[in-house]
Amino acid sequence: MDTFKLLQTLTETAAPSGREQQIAQVITELWEPYVDSLSIDRVGSLIAVKNGRAPAPRPRLLLAAHMDEIGLMVRQVVEHAGNGFLRVTNVGGVDIRQIYAQLVTVHGRKDLHGVMASLPPHMLPDERSDKPFGYEDLVIDLGLSMAEVQANVSVGDFVSFRQPLRKLQGKRVSGKALDNRASVAAVTVCLEYLQGRAHDWDVVAVATVQEETRLLGAYTSAFAQRPSAAVAIDVTFGKGPGANDENAFELGGGPTIDIGPNVHPGMYQALQDAADALEMSVNTATHARYSGTDAFGLQIAREGIPTGLVGIPLRYMHTMVESVDMKDVERTGRLLGELIVRLDAKFIDTITAAMMEADKS
Amino acid sequence: MNELIKKLVEAYGPSGFEDGMRDLIRPEIEAYADEISVDALGNLIAVKKGSGGGLKVMIAAHMDEIGVMVTHITQDGFLRFTNIGGVLPHNLMGSRVQFANGVIGVISSDRLEDRSKIHPLTKFFIDVGASSPDDCPVGVGDAAGFIRPFLAQGKRLTAKAMDDRIGCVVAIETLKRLKTTPHDVYFAFTVQEEVGVRGAMTAANHLDPDVGIALDVTLTGDVPEARPMAISLGQGAAIKVKDSGMIAHAGLVRLMKQRAEAAQISYQLEVLDGGSTDARSMQIANGGTAAGCISIPCRYVHSQSETVDADDVESCIKLLVEILANPINL
């Protein structure tokens, strides 16, 4: 599988939180050759199951990678001299400083190309010229008359950013929605890795919805699937000029494995062991209280699910030039695959017992 | 219908103290429901059984309202208080509140040095006419609701607690008018919405519906210097697409629009920047629910003069009846 093409297909598909149908279709086609069943659940998450070889009922590992991305939504259609413009609000954690002058697609009656428009610095008063625009200063210009806009767009229509994936130097790529399609790509690599390798556990690969707004797919899929254990895969902060050294990681330095309250120490260790078995370079990441990922929701579903968290270092998060190293994506896929191959019937009992021992010490 | 609205909006029921509301609503729905129950948190749930072949649908309208709770009684008999839900300090001066035992108090504040500023909540107090903690007829932990008579001027209806007693009215009227439905419909009159959509959470976890529809008020953009928003009073039922707590199920939004158009019910699409509803809880319950909301446009939300339009209320009822009377294909 060509990782660039994989990432290109995944990132260039539009899927703001709440409108994931299109990306779900793309992922369905990617995963279909590798899994035994595919379905869409009540809130839109894509659930793919690859059966293990142990006798049923088998333990199941849930892999959660969210497929939604940040975007915008039309909140008002406004007129200026016969032309129609759109005022928007954010869907998820949009960085207001960088949406001016972006290319967008408005998902109206049909997909319409537009630009995020405002006034050039020449036309702004001095005190405004070096400040970022707010939502009240920005409109989408579709190049259409008010009548044409009204015929094609309504309040509540989703808007996605439009940006092709570009190759930087080496194995680096840059584009939109690498948060979190890089992880969806990694799960795809994992499923490919498992072809021809025996594994006892069932693998439930879930492309979750609405992570950017409320971790919706993580909570609901973990409840419905009731896995024995789970791993969330998401991007983490890449090192670069100005980034703090403590919780930012080199692009190309391998995936991160999280330790912190949202993960089970046994899952952390199992992921470390899998990395050791592959002689793969990985880094430990830490979070206090809230990891900001699907792991937060997975962990407390049902009676509690031992959860791990794997990260792919990414620079410029929530911008249209998010950048990752494709080696990290591939490594993350292999790391997950190796974890799965190594899971046995005693795994849950073992990590639970280890917790009890730690308590005694 | 104004009689029912008046009865519900003028009643006492801050979050956590909804007993009286349950007692008011129950007789209104008893003749129309197949079963009525109350769960551990106090949600009142009325079931209308379907004729078969339909889905399990939960309708949520919250009974509770914002209010205040006594935290401390001064030596002079004044009551310091905290908020129950989103109480806005700039709406408080001169308000009257009533406790569960009927005692009425007036709200004022410590002297305002700078009239261009508003005191924080901690600088306000309630005067119930007591002169010391000993002769004070209410105590720490007692909750009070605002009081303000219901006002109907033409189509415009104004009251405190329109949020969300008007949603309760929409639910009650829908239950009354819904002759037959293929769906098993659970009308939940929920508790503790104003303090974190809590009643709907437990009700949805328990009922495990396929579809969840909240009935609640939404803001409007049709008053001077309002935050831009494409919702106006009198322009119809608001079909929620998004608020700051959830994105409605796209299929459910589509279905609501189709039903409104087919039955020629006026509607508007709602994108709300601040606040959320019981739909937020229903959406994430269990394995997930296809959740949405029919909103009643309302000016001055969380004041004591919340104002809605009677035609909008009627549109909301008609829309909900249309949705429930017909098959739901998402």
Separation between Cα atoms, residue B276 and residue B286, nearest integer Å? 19
Asked if residue B76 and residue B61 are part of one domain, the reply reads: no
The band of A245, judged by pLDDT with boundaries at 50, 70 and 90, is confident
The band of A170, judged by pLDDT with boundaries at 50, 70 and 90, is very high
Residue A333 burial by Cβ neighbours in a 10 Å radius (0-12, 13-18, 19+) = buried
The encoded tokens of residue A66 equal 């969210």
Asked if residue A199 and residue A64 are part of one domain, the reply reads: yes
Is B248 touching A (CB cutoff 8 A)?
A: yes
The band of B87, judged by pLDDT with boundaries at 50, 70 and 90, is very high
Asked if residue B81 and residue B48 are part of one domain, the reply reads: no
User: Region A63-74: what's the mean pLDDT?
Assistant: 98
Domain assignment of residue A257, yes or no: yes
Asked if residue A222 and residue A109 are part of one domain, the reply reads: no
The band of A358, judged by pLDDT with boundaries at 50, 70 and 90, is low
The enclosing domain of B107 has a CATH number of 2.40.30.40
The encoded tokens of residue A339 equal 């974890």
Domain assignment of residue B154, yes or no: no
Query: Would the CB atoms of B242 and A210 count as touching at under 8 Å?
Result: no
User: Region B271-283: what's the mean pLDDT?
Assistant: 96
Asked if residue A301 and residue A194 are part of one domain, the reply reads: yes
Asked if residue B304 and residue B181 are part of one domain, the reply reads: yes
pLDDT of residue A359: 62
Chain B 285-314, residues with CB within 8 Å of chain A CB atoms: 286-290
The H or E element spanning position B64 is none
Domain boundary among A117, A135, A161: A161
DSSP summary character for residue B158: E
Asked if residue A122 and residue A34 are part of one domain, the reply reads: no
Separation between Cα atoms, residue A90 and residue B98, nearest integer Å? 40
Task: Detail the DSSP E strand segments found in chain A.
Answer: 37-40, 46-50, 60-66, 71-80, 83-91, 103-107, 111-117, 139-145, 158-161, 166-167, 172-175, 202-208, 229-237, 256-259, 283-286, 307-314, 322-325
- Omega into A328 within 30° of 0, i.e. cis? no
pLDDT of residue A235: 98
Asked if residue B166 and residue B27 are part of one domain, the reply reads: yes
Reduce the DSSP state of residue B54 to 3 states and report it: coil
User: Region B48-70: what's the mean pLDDT?
Assistant: 97
The enclosing domain of B198 has a CATH number of 3.40.630.10
The residue type of A255 is: P
- Which of B247, B272, B273 is most worth mutating to test chain A (most A CB atoms within 10 A of its CB)? B247
Domain assignment of residue A196, yes or no: yes
Interstrand relation of A166-167 and A172-175 (parallel, antiparallel or unpaired):
antiparallel
Residue (of A330, A324, A176) closest to A236 by Cα position: A324
**B270 contacts in chain A (CB < 8 Å):** 155-156
Query: Would the CB atoms of A89 and B271 count as touching at under 8 Å?
Result: yes
DSSP summary character for residue B65: B
Separation between Cα atoms, residue A43 and residue A19, nearest integer Å? 11
Nearest-Cα residue of chain A relative to residue B267: A155
Asked if residue A85 and residue A21 are part of one domain, the reply reads: no
The end-to-end CA distance of chain B, in Å, is 32
Domain extent at residue A93: 71-161
Task: Give the tens place of pLDDT for each residue, B251-267.
Answer: 999 999 999 999 999 99
**A216 contacts in chain B (CB < 8 Å):** 283-284, 288
Domain assignment of residue A226, yes or no: yes
Chain B 66-85, residues with CB within 8 Å of chain A CB atoms: none
User: Region B40-64: what's the mean pLDDT?
Assistant: 97
Task: Give the tens place of pLDDT for each residue, B309-320.
Answer: 999 999 999 999
Radius of gyration of chain B (CA): 20
Asked if residue B78 and residue B207 are part of one domain, the reply reads: no
pLDDT of residue A357: 81
Domain assignment of residue A166, yes or no: no
Asked if residue B181 and residue B107 are part of one domain, the reply reads: no
> Residue B193 catalytic?
yes
Asked if residue A260 and residue A138 are part of one domain, the reply reads: no
Asked if residue A204 and residue A273 are part of one domain, the reply reads: yes
Asked if residue A201 and residue A65 are part of one domain, the reply reads: yes
Domain assignment of residue B155, yes or no: no
Cross-chain CB nearest to A75 (options B230, B239, B249): B230
Task: Give the tens place of pLDDT for each residue, B9-29.
Answer: 999 999 999 999 999 999 999
pLDDT at A361 over 80: no
Asked if residue A55 and residue A181 are part of one domain, the reply reads: yes
Asked if residue B187 and residue B110 are part of one domain, the reply reads: no
Q: Are B28 and B39 in contact (CB under 8 A)?
A: no
pLDDT at A360 over 80: no
The residues, any chain, with a CB within 8 Å of residue B112's CB and separated by 6 or more, are B119
Question: How far, in Å, are A262, A267, B126 from residue A360 at the CA level?
Answer: 22, 20, 53
Asked if residue B313 and residue B263 are part of one domain, the reply reads: yes
Q: Are B126 and B74 in contact (CB under 8 A)?
A: no
Number of domains in chain B: 2
Domain assignment of residue B188, yes or no: yes
Domain assignment of residue B10, yes or no: yes
Separation between Cα atoms, residue B172 and residue B174, nearest integer Å? 5
Query: Would the CB atoms of B271 and A136 count as touching at under 8 Å?
Result: no
pLDDT of residue B77: 97
**A224 contacts in chain B (CB < 8 Å):** 286-288
> What is the share, in percent, of chain A residues with pLDDT greater than 70?
99
pLDDT of residue A127: 86
* Residue B2 backbone dihedrals phi, psi, to 5 degrees: -60, -30
Asked if residue B293 and residue B189 are part of one domain, the reply reads: yes
Asked if residue B82 and residue B167 are part of one domain, the reply reads: no
Asked if residue B132 and residue B215 are part of one domain, the reply reads: no
The residues, any chain, with a CB within 8 Å of residue A258's CB and separated by 6 or more, are A268, A284, A285, A286, A287, A291, A295, A308, A309, A310, A311
Asked if residue A263 and residue A126 are part of one domain, the reply reads: no
Domain boundary among B114, B146, B178: B146
User: Region A121-131: what's the mean pLDDT?
Assistant: 86
The encoded tokens of residue A214 equal 């409320």
User: In whole numbers, what is the pLDDT of chain A averaged over residues?
Assistant: 96
> What is the share, in percent, of chain B residues with pLDDT greater than 90?
98
* Helices B2-9 and B19-29, packing angle to 10 deg: 160
Domain boundary among B90, B119, B146: B146
Domain assignment of residue A167, yes or no: no
pLDDT at A88 over 70: yes
Domain assignment of residue B89, yes or no: yes
Asked if residue B234 and residue B222 are part of one domain, the reply reads: yes
Domain extent at residue B294: 2-65+160-325
pLDDT at B80 over 60: yes
Question: How far, in Å, are A210, A264, A301 from residue A215 at the CA level?
Answer: 6, 19, 12
pLDDT at B204 over 60: yes
Asked if residue A346 and residue A198 are part of one domain, the reply reads: yes
pLDDT at A145 over 60: yes
Number of domains in chain A: 2
pLDDT at A246 over 90: no
pLDDT of residue A355: 85
Query: Would the CB atoms of B283 and A216 count as touching at under 8 Å?
Result: yes
Task: Give the tens place of pLDDT for each residue, A331-347.
Answer: 999 999 999 999 999 99
Strand partners for B271: B242
User: In whole numbers, what is the pLDDT of chain B averaged over residues?
Assistant: 97
The enclosing domain of A240 has a CATH number of 3.40.630.10
